[in-house]
Structure 1
Amino acid sequence: MNTAILAALITVATAIQPGPAASGPQVVFVCEHGAAKSLVATAYFNKLAAERGLKARATFRGVAPQDTLSVSAVAGLKADGLAIPDGRPTAVVDSDVAQATHIFAIGCTLPKSAQASGKSSSWDDVPDDQGYGPMRDAIVRHVRAVLDTLR
C-alpha cells in the first residue's frame, strides 16, 4: 500500500476515534451484587443523560457480583420501556475507579480504593425491600440530581 495513503488512513482513523477529551463524565454505579440497583441506575442515567444531550455515560458494577442480572430489575426496566444495559454483573476494580469521574455506592460499602478516590458518594436511602417501583423511584431522584450537577 502507498505510504501516503496509509498515513492518510491512519490520520482519519485517529480523528474519528473517541478520545478522553471527546467523552464526558464516566459514572460507575455500584451495588452489592451488581445486578439490580446499579443496573437500574445505569439504565436511567444513560437514557436521561442522552435526552439532555450530555456526553456522560454510566456503567454498573458490584462488590460481590452474582452470576446474572436480577430478573425483577430486568422485567421492571423492560416494563418502563428502557433498554437493558449491556453486560453482566462484574466486580468493581481499580481500573473502574481510575477511569470514573463519579462513583456511587447504592446500599453497599465500596472497596477502599473507591472510597479513597475522592470520587465516591453513597445512596443509602434506596430501599431494597419494597419492590421495584420504590427502588426505581429513589434511584431516578438521585440520577436526576446528579445530571443537574453535570449540566
Structure 2
Amino acid sequence: MTEVVRKRPEFRNINALKDLPSYRLPAAGIVSILHRISGFLMFLLMPLFIWMFDNSITSEISFAKLSAAFGIGIGFVPGWFFKLLALALIWAYLHHFIAGVRHIYMDAFHAVTKEFGKSSAVATLVLSLGLTAVLAAKLFGLY
C-alpha cells in the first residue's frame, strides 16, 4: 500500500519590488488604507488650520492677511499651494468621516459580507471624491 504524501506549503519572503505592484488590492483594502492616510493627514494639517482660523478671527487686518495668503500667497509660496493644503484637509475630513460612518454601520448592523464590503467601499470612494471635487471647484472659484 502506498501512502500519498502531501507537499507542505512553502513560505517565502516576498520581493516588494516584484510582487507588490502585481497585487490587486480590493476596494475595501484601498478604503482602509486611505482611512489611515486621511487620519494622519488631519493630524498633521489640523493645527495649521486651527492657527489660521484663530488668526483670522482676531482682527480685520489678520483676516485680510490670511485671505491674501489664499489669493496671492505669502513670500515665495503661491496662493494655490495654500488652496491645495486646504483641499487636502477637506478630502481627509470627508473621507475619514464617510469611512467612519461605514465602519459604524457595519458594526451596528453586523453587515460584514464580502458584497457589502465592496459596495460600501466603492460608495465611500465615490462620495468622498465627489464631494471633494465639488468643494474644490468652489475653492478654486469655478462657481
What's the TM-score once normalised by structure 2's chain length? 0.27
Which structure has more strand as a fraction of its residues?
Answer: 1
Which structure: greater helix fraction? Answer: 2
TM-score normalized with structure 1 length: 0.26
